[in-house]
Amino acid sequence: MSFMRWDIKKEEKGQIDDIDLHPITQKLLLQRGIESAQSADRFLHPNFDRDLHDEFLFRDMRKVVDRIARAKEDNEIIGVFGDHDVDGISGTTILSEALSDLGITNVPYIPDKHTEGHGINKKAIDEFVAAGATLMISVDCGSTNVDEILYAKKKGMETIIIDHHNTPEVLPDAYAIINPKVPDETYPFDGLCGTGAAYKVIIALYREIQPENVAQLKWLLDIVSIGTIADCVPLTDENRAIAKYGLLVLSKTRRIGYQEMIDVGRLPISDEQMPDAQTIAFHIAPRINAAGRMAHAKDAFDLLIEKDREKAHERAEDIEQKNIERRKITEKFTKAATKIVEEKYRDKKYIVIADPEYPVGIIGIIAGRLASEYARPAGIFNKGKKESRGSFRSIPNVNLVGALDGCAKYLVKYGGHHQAAGATILNENMAVFEKCFEQEIEKQLADHTVEQKHVADLEIDPRTVDFTLVQELMKFSPFGQDNAEPIFLLRNLIVAEKRLVGKTRKHVKLGLRTDDTSPQLFEAIGFSMSEVCAEIETGQNIDLLCNIQLNEWNGNQSIQFSMIDIRKSNQ
């Protein structure tokens, strides 16, 4: 049985006028701050042409377009520097391809995660200069690279930054900056990822140089949606339209690299089976990231730009093997880190672990698993001879960058988001940094306890669940950051049936009734929940935390409860 605490969000009172929706749907919309029929329609029915903001609302977009157009006219060479994660690789891919399609010579550069780290570096700048580049464009990085951009300027190369990370007080001396988080930025939405910002630049360029082909840019939405979903930016505002239409484009993708990745990995994506955001998060993104984690991120970039089917298949096979290897070593080192947490951090509100054995490529994954498992911010460092490189992952009510700001004097460099960040530190400062980090986390969590718990959106009467509700819930997708799939608390259901399913019999299926006389039998599925349900027997009354979904099998549709947690009633 599970002993995790269950909480329920505050239920918002009122109703949305002039709209015909299930009462439960209306309550969920109100919880999300959607209070009018117009805003509800925009949320439930994302529209690409309507919902995307004008790219020229970026205050520097006109400068960017004019500068790149001048580069085309003068036959300049552009260096494109992208970060080594899914977002950076995706953004670099579409920007480099778009520049080439517009007749602009460019040199793409993806850094080595293990030896170069995040952000623009002088090695890359020197390579761009050697290639004859007079303009550098960064993708998914650059906002904190003050020294490096000054170095590029001294080398005779101007810089355009395309980024979405938090910015320092002093911005780099770049020619132009496209970053929705820049102070006083005029763009109305600050949730774009790096690929999304690059997509905006591409649209603006095509409007200026090839307006007749702007409509064709929708075929880039597969890669833009993958960058968006993988980088865990809010799936709200225009990101909802990008994600929704991007998933549709991915099911029909023209990109040979994706086609081969889907085929080699046997992923559930096709014309008949449109992927959801979870498919991206758990299948596509890890494979792209595996290249950089296990070898070099350029392997993933090369797959995405590959035009030859046979070569693409070989590249996809190579990345598939890298992902299998990544999973194995992740499990090994996560177990080692979990043991340390149990011994040292059970009573603390944070986790910081440094070890020379932890591979740089997977420390972010380990940090994310620990943060999720123990409900507290976690930092995992690969400890080198003189300095250590770390990745941090957080929980919803802790701002990581804010915490690292408070410890900046102990760090060589750092950067990232509220929920994910990276840092480099001299080993001699590790102990004092950890103490400082603990104090910063204590400040942010002064009125909070760190504990493992589930939070339901609503407690509902299972008798109110019908196909109308389920069909409306499906319109809340794509699910992701700031738009989680609704969780419901159902009480006093009677277990009419129980069986273990799957090859390993780790999954559980329950048949549930609202009372002994009810003819309706709800089906509940619990993946990897056989141990949690070990004490559940037929005839018992149970309470259930679940998502409510539509199950389709052999042409038949049924309502299905996807179990999150379960306990006997009145416990």
Instruction: Identify the pLDDT of residue 402.
Output: 92
**Distance, first Cα to last Cα, the chain:** 11
For residue 319, tell me if it sits in a domain: no
- 549 in Cβ contact with 470 (< 8 Å): yes
- Residues 204 and 122 grouped into a single domain: yes
Residue numbers of the domain that contains 186: 55-311
For 157, the token pair is 């190369």
pTM: 0.91
For residue 36, tell me if it sits in a domain: no
- Residues 239 and 369 grouped into a single domain: no
Cβ neighbour number for residue 282 with a 10 Å cutoff: 10
- Residues 373 and 519 grouped into a single domain: no
d(CA 495, CA 251): 38
At 60 the three-state DSSP class reads coil
- Residues 172 and 67 grouped into a single domain: yes
- 521 in Cβ contact with 538 (< 8 Å): no
- Residues 366 and 466 grouped into a single domain: no
Q: What residues are paired with 79 via a beta bridge?
A: 107, 136
For 262, the token pair is 């889907």
For residue 50, tell me if it sits in a domain: no
The CATH number of residue 537's host domain is 2.40.50.460
Handedness of CA 220, 223, 229, 233 (dihedral sign): negative
Q: How many domains does the chain have?
A: 3
**One-letter identity of residue 467:** F
- Residues 466 and 437 grouped into a single domain: no
Q: Per residue of the chain (571 residues), give pLDDT as tens.
A: 556 789 999 888 888 888 899 999 999 999 999 999 999 999 999 999 999 999 999 999 999 999 999 999 999 999 999 999 999 999 999 999 999 999 999 999 999 999 998 899 999 999 999 999 999 999 999 999 999 999 999 999 999 999 999 888 899 999 999 999 999 999 999 999 999 999 999 999 999 999 999 999 999 999 999 999 999 899 999 999 999 999 999 999 999 999 999 999 999 999 989 999 999 999 999 999 999 999 999 999 999 999 999 999 999 999 999 999 999 999 999 999 999 999 999 889 999 999 999 999 999 999 999 999 899 999 999 999 999 999 999 998 899 999 999 999 999 988 887 888 999 999 999 999 999 999 999 999 987 777 778 999 999 999 999 999 999 999 999 999 899 999 999 999 999 999 999 888 899 999 999 887 777 889 999 999 988 898 899 999 999 999 999 988 777 888 999 999 999 998 6
Last residue of a domain, one of 444, 479, 511: 444
Cβ neighbour number for residue 448 with a 10 Å cutoff: 12
- Residues 132 and 183 grouped into a single domain: yes
The CATH number of residue 299's host domain is 3.90.1640.30
For residue 45, tell me if it sits in a domain: no
- Residues 129 and 264 grouped into a single domain: yes
For residue 160, tell me if it sits in a domain: yes
At 150 the three-state DSSP class reads helix
- Residues 429 and 491 grouped into a single domain: no
- 47 in Cβ contact with 67 (< 8 Å): no
Last residue of a domain, one of 397, 416, 444: 444
- Residues 145 and 197 grouped into a single domain: yes
Taking CB atoms within 8 Å and a gap of at least 24, the contacts of 213-219 are 218/48, 218/245, 218/249, 219/249, 219/254
Last residue of a domain, one of 311, 330, 361: 311
- Residues 542 and 503 grouped into a single domain: yes
d(CA 305, CA 97): 8
Name, in order, each residue with C-beta under 8 angstroms of 360's C-beta and a sequence gap of 6 or more.
Answer: 113, 114, 382, 389
Name, in order, each residue with C-beta under 8 angstroms of 347's C-beta and a sequence gap of 6 or more.
Answer: none
